[in-house]
Structure 1
Amino acid sequence: MAISGFVAFTWMRPPPHVTSPNICASRSEARESSNPVVLRPMRTHFSRPAFFEGARDVAPMLIGIVPFGIVCGIGAITAGASPIAALAMSMIMFSGAAQIIAVQLLAAGAPFAVILLSCLVVSLRLVMYSAAMAPYLRPLDHRWRALLSFVLTDQAFAGTLQRFQRSDDLRANASYFLGSGALLWVIWQLATIAGILAGQVIPASWQLEFVVPLCFIAVLVPLLRDRVSILVFTVAAIAVIALDAMPLRLSMVCGGLLGIAAGIVGDKVAGKRG
């Protein structure tokens, strides 16, 4: 979700009156300058070649994005959302995992506060992504950082961070990031629209309410590659089942938080043994 990314991007901004090496169009230019100057947010210009380069590099990842978006669209319709509401949720949230969580809780009749909290919890990884990218984007002004935080996804983060680490051109890097995220956003909306249309015409006898859980299983199983990930899944699943009697569907929120705690403890134990 955009809120999670923007929090870290904004929090990592430089103070407006701190002296620092000159930050121009690139960090290499800053190294060449020996005179400290006042560090101010940079209003960078758009680079069209870098924008399309980012879109081109992220294109192979669309193979996995399209089916996921279709499932989200179908799930929203089968959960009782109107087509307009389903599309609005997709355009504003732009987060597959959070949208699936929201659809599941919406179908279960959970209150809005619980849905919002659950989506924020599952999107906490974006804060870590933003914190990792913030040092490279500090000179940008708030408008650029707000825009980039909105299009921050797992796929955009993976490719863009690698470019940041090998290139000093801030203008090109920001445009590359925007190109990657913009293409992902457009394709995601088209896939969601396809799912919304499919959800309206597919007969109810097809039992499409199972599509979203099956999609979650397909995403989850490849992630269970070590003991810590298995521990996280086991603790979260047991907690959700054991706390099912909690009001307001809070069992899912508590299960997610306990799973995160188990992962932190598991990582520390594994680190000490290693």
Structure 2
Amino acid sequence: MKVAIKKGLLDMLPLNLAVLPWGLLCGSLAIQNGFTALEAQLMSVLVFAGSAQLVAVELMAKEASLLTLMVTTFIISARHLLYGLAIRNKMVDKPLRWRGPIAFFLTDELFAFSHHHRAYQGKLRLVYALVAGGSFYLAWNVWTFFGIVAGQFLPDLTNLGLDFAIAAIFIALVVPGVSNLPVLCACLVSGISILYFKTIQFEFGLVASALLGMSTGYVLQAKEDKS
């Protein structure tokens, strides 16, 4: 048990530190857009989704409609539904006391730890997942708190380029998963298409590029499986 706890903490530690700029940005941006310190902290405590939080803060500051807010954040967070489906077979037979917390902690970072064929199998591996996910949740809220404090006393932190941390973390999570040609092609198609959609200012470019990438990967994988 102690070994699983220690390994969960140590394995997630690099990502806990890497997310610091992102948490600072979320906390400070909320304060600078009129959120109270309590509201900003509760967003990280209850929502626990960095990209969705950043977009939601911006939309709420611009007084966007509730429908726009809900649809936009749903689209951004829809990948978590895919994460849940991906590990469903590993978790379907587990009691709710395990499934509930792991579902809440299932961020991009924890999902990156879920590819091993024995992930979530046995009590020790479940403890490992909970410790890893829980430590990331704690780190996220600590960095958000620091961002809230910084947002009240320092100038606009968005000018420091902290948002690059978002791209850097996702690159670090994706690259180890590129293990075959279909996955590589899916990444390339998504990356190239989103750049194109950005140049033409296509409003739903992110969704379209993701669908194109997934479709490419699915078709290539299907052909590979048949051969």
Common topology (TM > 0.5): yes
Supply the AA of the counterpart residue of 2:189: V
Cα 1:83/1:216, change in 2 over 3 Å: same
Counterpart contact for 1:126–1:152, Cα < 8 Å: yes
In 2, the alpha carbon distance for the partners of 1:258 and 1:273 equals 23
Please name the residue that 2:207 is paired with: 257
| Aligned partner of 2:107 among 153, 178, 192 | 153
Please name the residue that 1:219 is paired with: 166
| Residues 101-180 of structure 1 aligned to structure 2 (within 5 Å) | 101-162=55-116, 165-166=117-118, 169-180=121-132
| Aligned partner of 2:35 among 40, 62, 81 | 81
In 2, the alpha carbon distance for the partners of 1:140 and 1:265 equals 31
TM-score, normalised with respect to structure 1 = 0.65
Q: Does 1:232 align with 2:184?
A: no
Cα 1:66/1:220, change in 2 over 3 Å: closer
Q: Does 1:199 align with 2:146?
A: no
Cα 1:235/1:113, change in 2 over 3 Å: farther
Q: CA deviation at 1:238?
A: 4.7
Cα 1:159/1:91, change in 2 over 3 Å: same
After superposition, what is the alpha-carbon deviation per residue over 1:111-149, rounded to whole angstroms, capped at 9, x for unaligned?
233222222211222222222222122221223211110
SS in 2 for 1:80: coil
Identity of aligned residues (%): 26
Q: CA deviation at 1:271?
A: 7.3
In 2, the alpha carbon distance for the partners of 1:270 and 1:216 equals 33
In 2, the alpha carbon distance for the partners of 1:78 and 1:124 equals 27
Supply the AA of the counterpart residue of 1:256: L
In 2, the alpha carbon distance for the partners of 1:270 and 1:106 equals 41
Counterpart contact for 1:232–1:259, Cα < 8 Å: yes
Cα 1:191/1:101, change in 2 over 3 Å: same
Cα 1:120/1:48, change in 2 over 3 Å: farther
Q: CA deviation at 1:260?
A: 3.1
Please name the residue that 2:179 is paired with: none
Unmatched runs of 5 consecutive residues or more in structure 2: 172-183
RMSD of equivalent CA atoms = 3.1
Counterpart contact for 1:235–1:262, Cα < 8 Å: no
In 2, the alpha carbon distance for the partners of 1:216 and 1:111 equals 25
